[in-house]
């Protein structure tokens, strides 16, 4: 981590803004469809994962900074599912495309990690990239 990165480490306020972006993004799928059920299901799943990661982080005695990174990763881990279902009408990666890769493209397109240092971005993106990998 560079000295410049140390000055910009993620804050609680950054996470709050990201949560607003997340809800604006996911709500756009919910509001612009005849069948919002699958999108609501994935939004609810994400919120449960965020709750669980906070519990696990507390049990593991993670630092404040580590907790912010963990919650950010939990919040974005399935962001690709929304575009996946809209484009392919399925959550099955094997008949559509890898939702993690799709999510990473959406994160870049929407510049969702602009507030992060390069090291934070790398950690978050790798966590998302491999969260559904068998190996």
Which tens digit of pLDDT belongs to each residue from 96-115?
Answer: 999 999 999 999 999 999 99
Rounded to an integer, what distance in angstroms lies between the CA atom of residue 129 and that of residue 131?
6
Residue with tokens 């969702």: 112
C-beta of residue 76 within 8 angstroms of C-beta of residue 123: no
Phi, psi of 111 (to 5 degrees): 50, 45
pLDDT at 38: 97
**Per-residue b or e along 102-132, where b marks 16 or more CB atoms closer than 10 Å to that residue's CB:** bbbebbeeeebbebbbeebbebbbebbeebe
Res. 26: pLDDT tops 90? yes
From 28-32, 57-61, 88-92, 115-119, the region with the lowest mean pLDDT: 115-119
pLDDT at 129: 95
For the whole model, what pTM was predicted? 0.91
User: What integer is the mean pLDDT of 69-89?
Assistant: 97
How far apart are the two ends of the chain, measured CA to CA in Å?
A: 28
Please write down the HEC assignment for all residues of 53-82. Answer: HHHHHHHCCCCHHHHHHHHHHHHHCCCHHH
pLDDT at 1: 53
Rounded to an integer, what distance in angstroms lies between the CA atom of residue 58 and that of residue 11?
18
């Amino acid at each position: 981590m560079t000295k410049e990165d140390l000055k910009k480490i993620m804050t609680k306020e950054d996470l709050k803004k990201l949560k607003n972006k997340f809800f604006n993004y996911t709500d756009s799928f919910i509001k612009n469809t005849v069948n919002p059920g699958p999108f609501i299901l994935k939004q609810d799943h994400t919120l449960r994962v965020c709750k669980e990661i906070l519990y696990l982080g507390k049990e593991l005695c993670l630092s404040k900074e580590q907790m912010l990174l963990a919650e950010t990763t939990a919040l974005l881990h399935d962001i690709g599912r929304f575009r996946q279902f809209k484009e392919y009408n399925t959550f099955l990666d094997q008949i559509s495309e890898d939702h993690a890769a799709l999510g990473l493209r959406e994160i870049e397109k929407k510049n969702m990690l602009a507030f992060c240092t390069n090291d934070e971005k790398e950690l978050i993106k790798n966590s998302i990239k491999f969260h559904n990998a068998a190996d």
